């Protein structure tokens, strides 16, 4: 887990030398023996989120169970959250509401999930994990 902290941000990156928020989530889940491609079959191009802003959410809603209550987030849940008006993706690394994420201009980091409406947007749990 510690090895995933401090990875520099790189668009569409999926490696220790650089990763974006989806890459960090994917790498963390792989370290937990959970392998997910998050691929909808379309290429990921720069600024894809401006053109298709709900693309990732649609994928998550199709393949995961949505968690609306931030208090229900637990280890390995995917978390959609907001910082300074921008949506970001992270993954819960424990049941104490700590999430691992990154965003442009940063290195990967751990942040405590704030349960206020200004931070938490939604969570997603692998359907195989149950309630």
pLDDT at residue 48, as a whole number: 64
Alpha helices by DSSP H, listed for 1-131, are 21-31, 48-51, 55-63
Tens of pLDDT, residue by residue over 55-107, are: 788 889 989 999 999 899 999 999 998 887 778 889 999 988 888 888 888 89
pLDDT at residue 102, as a whole number: 86
Is pLDDT above 80 for 34? Answer: yes
Burial string for 68-88 (b: 16+ CB within 10 Å, else e) reads eebeebeebbbbbbeeeeebb
Beta bridge partners of residue 98, listed in sequence order: 112
- In this prediction the pTM is 0.86
Token pair for residue 91? 């993954």
Write the DSSP symbol of residue 49: H
From first CA to last CA, the distance across the chain in angstroms is 25
Class of domain 2-129 as given by CATH: alpha beta
What is the residue extent of each domain of the chain? 2-129
Q: For the chain, give the mean pLDDT.
A: 85
């Amino acid at each position: 887990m510690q090895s995933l902290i401090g990875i520099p941000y790189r668009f569409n990156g999926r490696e220790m030398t650089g990763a974006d928020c989806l890459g960090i989530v994917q790498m963390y889940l792989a370290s937990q023996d959970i392998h997910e491609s998050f691929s909808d079959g379309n290429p990921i191009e720069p600024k894809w989120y401006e053109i298709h802003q709900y693309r990732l959410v649609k994928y998550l809603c199709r393949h995961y169970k949505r968690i609306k209550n931030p208090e229900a987030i637990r280890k390995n849940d995917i978390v959609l959250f907001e910082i300074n008006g921008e949506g970001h993706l992270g993954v819960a690394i424990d049941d104490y509401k700590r999430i691992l994420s990154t965003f442009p201009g940063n290195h990967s980091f751990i942040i405590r999930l704030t349960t206020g409406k200004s931070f938490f947007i939604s969570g997603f749990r692998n359907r195989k994990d149950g309630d």
